[in-house]
Homo-oligomer: A and B are copies of this chain.
């Protein structure tokens, strides 16, 4: 692809990026920093940005967009993703429709690097969908009206601030709260003073004792909480299984389940799984995970990282067949370079555009 075409087709942040020619394919990639609307504070410090790598894959005049998002706690970084993309070589493939072979090849380059792998999976599927002239939710045969409401995360804060945040989150039909501190009951009570919107809670392995966990599960169920994400450490399989068996509300595995090959670990231990593209290497594997989870009677939640509308819209293609979606990553940033899926009163709306349905914003 010439630079003229590159400049015409690629959004601004790509224009100083890396161009890699690989036979019939051309790969473009560029590190980028997502600016968070609000500084995010956790025990280990504060941060105001999340590193991503923007990716574009061109073939025969078509171009597909992808993205890797690397929140620091997952072990990938600009450097590791650029190093991985530097090793990718698609020149032996004559046809992007050989998607299983191409993505197996990429998966075998190195262990881990799941965000880097996801960026290529997303770009390849965007490309393929455009070549077929259809969005992936249609290619899979899904009804776009069946998308769930996305949950919206309310950060930990003082009771007054929490009540204020909840009022601002009025359009959302499901609130997500990260628990695991002494202030948990205060948080939930503060929310219940101002709204009866259903809540889901993410414990991030924070509970250690199963009897206390069950007691809290009952208390939360009484307060209108609909499920509990990763209640106890993933290593405590017996405790998580016991809690799941006795809990009045479903438990969802997050840290415990990364990829397709992990799903058997959830059987009898959790009620369902949280699937995130950046953990599972992209929408091809996510789609297989959903089919498998369904066949095993496991609930399915779709999650995300802080991402542009690119990765969020890719995940949203699968939203019609999940129980819950937590796809608010693109709402948390001020420098999204794409438009794609959007929300109407909290419900995910899928654009009827080919591939993953994103358009670069004019810039």
Contacts and interface: CB of A to CB of B under 8 A. Distances in A.
A86 interface: no
A6 interface: no
Nearest to A263: B295
A82 to B, nearest CB: 26
A24 to B, nearest CB: 16
A103 to B, nearest CB: 8
Residues of A in contact with B, size category: 20 to 34
Contacts of A47: none
Contacts of A134: 97, 131-132
Contact of A99 (B98, B133, B141, B288): B141
Contacts of A99: 141
A257 to B, nearest CB: 13
18 contacts: A97-B134, A97-B141, A98-B141, A100-B140, A100-B141, A100-B321, A101-B143, A103-B141, A128-B141, A132-B132, A132-B134, A133-B133, A139-B139, A141-B284, A263-B295, A288-B291, A291-B292, A292-B292
A321 to B, nearest CB: 8
A138 interface: yes
A292 B260 CA distance: 11
A134 B291 CA distance: 23
Interface in A257-273: 260, 263
A184 to B, nearest CB: 36
A98 B145 CA distance: 10
Given A132-B132, A132-B133, A132-B134, A143 B98 contact: yes
A132 B141 contact: no
Given A97-B138, A100-B141, 7 more contacts: A100-B142, A100-B321, A132-B132, A132-B133, A139-B139, A260-B295, A288-B291
B143 A132 contact: no
A340 B291 CA distance: 29
A98 B140 CA distance: 9
Given A133-B133, A143-B100, A295 B284 contact: no
A295 to B, nearest CB: 5
Contacts of A133: 132-133
Interface string A130-155: 01111000111111000000000000
